[in-house]
Amino acid sequence: MQNCKWRYSTAAEWLHGPGEMRWRRTFSGQVSQVSAARHFARAMFAGDICADVVEFVVGELTANTLRHTRSADEGGWFGVELAYGDPVYVGITDIGGRGIPTIRQPDATSESGRGLYAVSQLAISLGIHGSPALGHTVWVDLDRHQDLQTPAGLGTSLAS
Report d(CA 73, CA 59) in Å as an integer: 19
Q: What is the pLDDT of residue 114?
A: 74
> What is the percentage of the chain residues whose pLDDT exceeds 90?
55
Q: What is the pLDDT of residue 146?
A: 84
Q: What is the mean pLDDT of the chain?
A: 83
Whether 158 has a pLDDT exceeding 50, the answer reads no
Q: What is the pLDDT of residue 155?
A: 46
Whether 149 has a pLDDT exceeding 60, the answer reads yes
Report d(CA 125, CA 92) in Å as an integer: 14
Whether 65 has a pLDDT exceeding 90, the answer reads yes
pTM of whole model > 0.85? no
Whether 45 has a pLDDT exceeding 80, the answer reads yes
Top pLDDT among 18 and 8 is at 18
Domain coordinates of the chain in residue numbers? 20-142
Rounded to an integer, the average pLDDT of 67-91 is: 94
End-to-end CA distance of the chain: 55
* Banded pLDDT at 21 (limits 50, 70, 90): confident
Cα angle for residues 72, 121, 39 (degrees, 5° grid): 45
- pLDDT digit string (tens) for 90-99? 999 999 987 7
- For the domain covering 20-142, report its CATH number: 3.30.565.10
Whether 150 has a pLDDT exceeding 70, the answer reads no
Whether 137 has a pLDDT exceeding 80, the answer reads yes
Report d(CA 43, CA 41) in Å as an integer: 5
Rounded to an integer, the average pLDDT of 7-16 is: 64
Its sign, for the CA torsion 155, 104, 113, 50, is negative
Report d(CA 50, CA 150) in Å as an integer: 14
Rounded to an integer, the average pLDDT of 105-122 is: 75
